[in-house]
Structure 1
Amino acid sequence: MVPDDIIAAAEVFADAAGAAIRPLFRSTLLVEAKGDASPVTRADREAEEAIRALIAARFPGHGVIGEEHGADRPDAEWVWVLDPIDGTRAFITGRPLFGCLVGLLHRGVPVLGIIDQPVTGERWVGVAGRATRFRAPLGGTAACRPCARVGDAELSCTSPDMFLAPDRPGFERLRGAARRVTWGGDCYSYGLLALGLVDVVAESTMKIWDWAALVPVVEGAGGRVTDWRGEPLTAASDGRVLAVGDPALLAEAVSLLTDR
C-alpha cells in the first residue's frame, strides 16, 4: 500500500516539473544531441532537477532513477523513476503529445505512476490497488473499454523506427491483425488507452523511465501492461512493452508478437 503522503508528494513533483516545462513550450530552445541521438532540452533537465530537489528534501532515503541525471540509490526500498519529458520530439516541434512521467517502485515493483500533460492540464494518477484518477479541464473518467479481439482493436505506437530488426516481424503481425494503427503519442497513448480510446500499445527499445509510471495508470483503469511474452515488466526486462485495455486481448496480442 502506498502511503497517502507519498501520493500527495508525487502530485507536487509533477506540479514542479510542469512549472519548469510550460514557459519553454513552443519557445526557441537550444537542442543538444545525447548519446542515443534523441533531443534533450533545457526543459528536460530543469524539470528533472526540480523533482530531484523535492525528493531529496522530503524523502532523503528514497532512490531516484532519471533519464537526464542517472541513478542515485537504485537499490533502495522506494525508488522514484522520472522521465521529465516523455515525447521530447513532440515537445520541441510544438505538439502537446508528450508528458511528464513520475513513477515509484517499491522493492522493484511499480506502485505509483503519474502521466502529466502540463500544457493541456490533463493528469492521470495510478496507484496500486486503487482506481486510476483522471483530471482534465473538460473532465473525463479513466476506464479502459471492452475489446476482446485484436481485429476490433485500435493499435497505437510512437514510431515504426523504434523497432530493431528482430522486433519488426512481430509488430507487423500485430499491426496487420488490428483494425487500425495510429502513430505518435509516446506516453500520451497509454493515457488514451486508460481513457478507453485506444485498445493496444506495443513498443520496443523502452527504458525503465519510459514505462514505470505507465503500469499503475493503465492497470488502475482495468488494463494490463507486460512485456511481449505477457510477463510483468521488471528492471531486467528487454525493452519490449505491451499494453492492452481489455485483459482478454493479451493472449492474442502476445501470440501475434511472438508467433507462438
Structure 2
Amino acid sequence: MVGPVGADAADIIATAQMAADAARVVTLRYFRGSNLNTTSKRTDFDPVTAADREAEQVMRDIITARRPDDAILGEEYGETAGTSGLTWVLDPIDGTRGFISGTPTWGVLIAVRDATRALYGIVDQPYIGERFAGGFGTATFNGPHNSHALVTASNVELSEAIIFTTFPEVGEAADAEGFQALAQHCKLTRYGMDCYAYALLAAGQVDLVVEAGLQTYDILGPLAVIEAAGGIVTDWKGGSAMQGGRVIAAANAEIHARALEILSKY
C-alpha cells in the first residue's frame, strides 16, 4: 500500500496537530488539580482519570470531523472502524501514574498507521510545552525556547550509552532481568519517564529505551517520531514493535544491534 502523499499527508499532519492542541487544553485543565476522578482498570492500580477520557474524546471529535473515513483506536474508547485503510492510534495520557503524581513526564500520543507501518506520530508534553513530531520525511521539535529538527544520537558504544526504562513498574520479572543484563553495560540508567524517554531519544539526548508490557497505543506515536529522526524501534528479537509488547528503541542501527545481542537472549 502506498502511503498518503501531497495534500493528504499535509491534511494528516494538520489534523494531528489540531488534535494535540485540543488535548493540551484538556489535560492542562486537570493537571495538578484535585478533580481528576481517578479510577483503576485493574486491581493492581492501572489508573485512568477524567482527563484521559475527555482528552481522547476531543481528539476523536476532531479526527472524525476532518477525516471521517479513517479508523480510530484509542486507549479509553476502543476502536471505531474506517474505510480509508488508515488508523489513528491515540493514547490521551501516556504515563497516567506520573500525571496524577504531578510529574511533567507524561504525554499525549498520536499516531497514524496503515496496514504495515506508522506514518506519522506526535509525542506532546503539554505542561512544559514541548512537541516532538515525525513522519512524511520530517522530524521536528517545537518548545518554549526553540524549534529545530530532531536527529538521534550517533553514539554506538554501549559503555557510553544512556538507557531509560519504566521498569520495575512496568513488565514482569523476566523482562526486568533482560533489561538489567543490558543496563549493566551502559554508562547511565534512568527510570520512570514513560513516553518522555522516547522523545528524548528522538532528540539525541539518550541512546536506548527498553520496555515491556506495552500496548500498540503506547508505542506507535514514539515509534513514528524516532524512526523519522533516524532511530530504530523493534521488539526484543528484532521484529516489529507496532503491536507493543517488549520494545527496544535505539538511536541508530549500530547501537541497536549491540543491545539486541543481549536482549534477544531473554
Give the TM interval when normalised to the shorter protein: over 0.9
Q: State the SS of the aligned residue for 1:113.
A: strand
The one-letter code matched in structure 2 to 1:101 is: L
- What is aligned with 2:262? 256
* 2:155 corresponds to 1:147: yes
Structure 1 unaligned spans of 5+: none
* 2:143 corresponds to 1:136: yes
d(CA) in 2 for partners of 1:218 and 1:166?
Answer: 26
d(CA) in 1 for partners of 2:33 and 2:213?
Answer: 29
CA shift for structure 1 position 258: 1.8
* 2:55 corresponds to 1:63: no
TM superposition score normalised by structure 1:
0.94
Q: State the SS of the aligned residue for 2:184.
A: helix
Q: Give runs of aligned pairs for residues 37-186 of structure 1, distance below 5 A.
A: 37-73=45-81, 77-128=85-136, 130-141=137-148, 142-186=150-194
CA shift for structure 1 position 168: 2.7
d(CA) in 1 for partners of 2:112 and 2:256?
Answer: 25
Q: State the SS of the aligned residue for 1:102.
A: strand
| Count, aligned residues | 257
Q: State the SS of the aligned residue for 2:210.
A: strand
- What is aligned with 2:22? 16
CA contact (8 A) 2:167 2:176 kept: no
d(CA) in 1 for partners of 2:119 and 2:161?
Answer: 27
| Superposed CA offset, 1:97-121 (max 9, x none) | 0100011111241111000111111
* 2:37 corresponds to 1:30: yes
Structure 2 unaligned spans of 5+: none
Relative to structure 1, the CA distance from residue 159 to residue 74 in structure 2 (aligned partners, 3 Å threshold; closer, same or farther) is farther
- What is aligned with 2:242? 234
CA contact (8 A) 2:70 2:83 kept: no
d(CA) in 1 for partners of 2:69 and 2:113?
Answer: 13
Following TM superposition, the consecutive aligned residue runs of length 4 or more in structure 1 with deviations greater than 4 angstroms are none
d(CA) in 2 for partners of 1:14 and 1:218?
Answer: 18
Relative to structure 1, the CA distance from residue 76 to residue 205 in structure 2 (aligned partners, 3 Å threshold; closer, same or farther) is farther
CA contact (8 A) 1:157 1:186 kept: yes
d(CA) in 2 for partners of 1:93 and 1:165?
Answer: 25
CA shift for structure 1 position 74: 7.2
d(CA) in 2 for partners of 1:42 and 1:187?
Answer: 20
- What is aligned with 1:187? 195
The one-letter code matched in structure 2 to 1:133 is: T
Q: State the SS of the aligned residue for 1:104.
A: strand
CA contact (8 A) 1:65 1:74 kept: no
* 2:216 corresponds to 1:208: yes
d(CA) in 1 for partners of 2:102 and 2:63?
Answer: 29
d(CA) in 2 for partners of 1:49 and 1:223?
Answer: 31
d(CA) in 2 for partners of 1:61 and 1:131?
Answer: 25
The one-letter code matched in structure 2 to 1:233 is: A
Q: State the SS of the aligned residue for 1:23.
A: helix
Q: State the SS of the aligned residue for 2:87.
A: strand
What is the CA RMSD across the aligned residues, in angstroms? 1.6
Q: State the SS of the aligned residue for 2:89.
A: strand
